[in-house]
Amino acid sequence: MKRSLASSVLRYVIVAAAGFLLAYVLIAFFVFPDDGVATGVKVPVVVGMNYEDAVRRLAAIGLKGTLGESRVTSASPRSTVLAQHPAAGLDASRGTSIVLDVSTSERPTTVPTIAGMTQAGAAAELKRVGLNLGRVQEEAADDPRGTVLRLRPDAGQVVPMGTAIDLVVSGGPSELFMPDVIGREVGEATIMLEQLGVQMAPIEYDSASTLPRGSVISQSPAAGASLSQGTPVLLRVAGKP
């Protein structure tokens, strides 16, 4: 009787232990699959691979490839991985993002030196080398109105063709004074005043003047007078239109 009872107890203990062990294994593998297993991986080398292939290579070991910078280069095919961050060989947790810089096949060109040119001349030069005119901002300066003062990106930088180049151009001096244009040829006087950014009134002609035809015989305001951007300037010219 005692032996039978002991055998029953022993069987019960064995069954209970087996059940406990099975439950532990199930929980370990299905509920907490990473318990007791290292979660870190070595970052593989993906430099030189195609971007899509590199992303798949990283995903296979639990890492995430993300797109970083696109660099213009003629040394590598388009979408080739040029650099990776973190670097290969470092330890990383699964799910870590690996930033991949890739190449682009866009043809490069060099930003020309256009400071000091007129806005129209600068735009033509940019078009000649495959670049576009971007935003144009005026800034008060002693340079003639419309003269290019600065540009961004700067001259000499290598950029993809089609890049927009922003310009800062002269808006003329912040304080304007009427120049003396009496005796000048009307075309020359008009260009001088337009560069200052003043508003020109319709030119008046004096057919009775004995001065050379086309020369300025009077001006309003007078030379040296302070001007604002909206001040109309009237020129009287010898001869007929």
Q: What are phi and psi of 28, to 5 degrees?
A: -60, -40
Which ranges constitute the DSSP H helices of 60-180? 119-128
CATH number of 176-238: 3.30.10.20
- pLDDT of 35 reads 44
Hey, where are the domains in the chain?
Answer: 1-37, 40-104, 108-170, 176-238
pLDDT score at 94: 93
Cα 123 to Cα 83: distance, rounded to the nearest angstrom: 36
Q: Is the CB of residue 77 less than 8 Å from the CB of residue 94? A: no
Rounded CA separation 211/238 (Å)? 6
Determine if the pTM surpasses 0.85: no
Identify the residue whose tokens are 């035809």.
213
What integer pLDDT is reported at residue 57 of this predicted model? 96
Look up the CATH number of domain 108-170: 3.30.10.20
pLDDT number for residue 78: 83
The pLDDT, as a whole number, for residue 173 is: 75
Q: Quick one: CATH architecture of 40-104?
A: 2-Layer Sandwich (3.30)
User: For the chain, which residues score pLDDT lower than 50?
Assistant: 1-2, 5-6, 9, 13, 25, 28-29, 31-32, 34-38
Residue 16 to residues 10, 31, 62, 123, Cα–Cα distance (Å): 10, 21, 38, 87
Residue-wise burial string across 183-211, b where 16 or more C-beta atoms lie within 10 A, e elsewhere: ebebeebbeebebbbbeeeeeebeeeeee
